[in-house]
Amino acid sequence: MFELTVRADFSSAHFLRDYEGKCRNLHGHTWKVAVTVAGHTLDNIGVMADFVVLKAHLDAILNRLDHACLNDLEFFKVNNPTAENLARFIYQEYKPLVRPVVLKKVRVWESEKADVVYYE
């Protein structure tokens, strides 16, 4: 089995609804994201998945989030824009783009000291 990971980052603002603390106020993060795919089949040149393609798919998703207020996006009007829900959103958007390889997990860092992993 092989695992490939691509990383990227983006900046956005958000606030947490119904949160009792400073994060209920509008604030921003430079989020770091790592997406890991897995598979056991290599193509005729020995590649499971092209890093360039994987990175382009991630960039396309993150470009929609970059320099936005996450609360204004449709998904986050229903789901509080927590790091957990952000990881789930990226996972759900990325998964159909990489078939037939398997999306294993999405890791999102809201800071150097705090991250979350989402997988199914």
Q: Which residues are known to be catalytic?
A: 23, 67, 110
Closest by alpha carbon to 49, among 4, 89, 105, 12? 4
Compute the distance between CA of residue 19 and CA of residue 25 in angstroms, rounded to an integer.
Answer: 9
* Cα dihedral: 93, 66, 26, 92 (round 10): 10
Compute the distance between CA of residue 34 and CA of residue 5 in angstroms, rounded to an integer.
Answer: 6
Strand order in the sheet with 102-111: 2-14, 27-39, 102-111, 114-118
The DSSP output letter for 18 is: T
The DSSP output letter for 114 is: E
